[in-house]
Amino acid sequence: MHETSIALGLLRSLSEIAEREKAKKITRVKVKIGKLSGIVIDSFKFAFDALKGEFKEVKDAELLVEEVSLVYKCKDCGREFEVDSVYFPECPACKSLNLALISGEELEVVEVELEV
């Protein structure tokens, strides 16, 4: 389960942020995870909650996860569109398969709330 190692890496980074900013604790962290990131969100949340007790500055932190949809841009007609399925989408306007992925692979920390 690679979600555990990703959660552990995040917790280490958060602990370093708290130390660098001289924060008493981190109260909330918000991350964006794309549907194509390969991360199972429930497993990631579980791992985060299971491991956060090992980091004194992060032990009470709330994890908020925003799932990022798949957005493609058609290289033929230029239309951008969102899809639910990860399997071989086609442009709804021109039916082209010549697509560029715009979003959906993200794994990024977008907000960290500190108590100083």
Identify the CATH number of the domain defined by range 2-115.
Answer: 3.30.2320.80
Q: What is the pLDDT of residues 25-67, one digit of tens each?
A: 999 999 999 999 999 999 999 999 999 999 999 999 999 999 9
Positions at the binding site for Zn(2+): 74, 77, 91, 94
How many percent of the chain have pLDDT more than 90?
92
Positions at the binding site: 2, 74, 77, 91, 94
Positions at the binding site for Ni(2+): 2
For the chain, the domains span: 2-115
DSSP H or E stretch at residue 99? strand 99-103
Residue 22 has pLDDT above 70, yes or no: yes
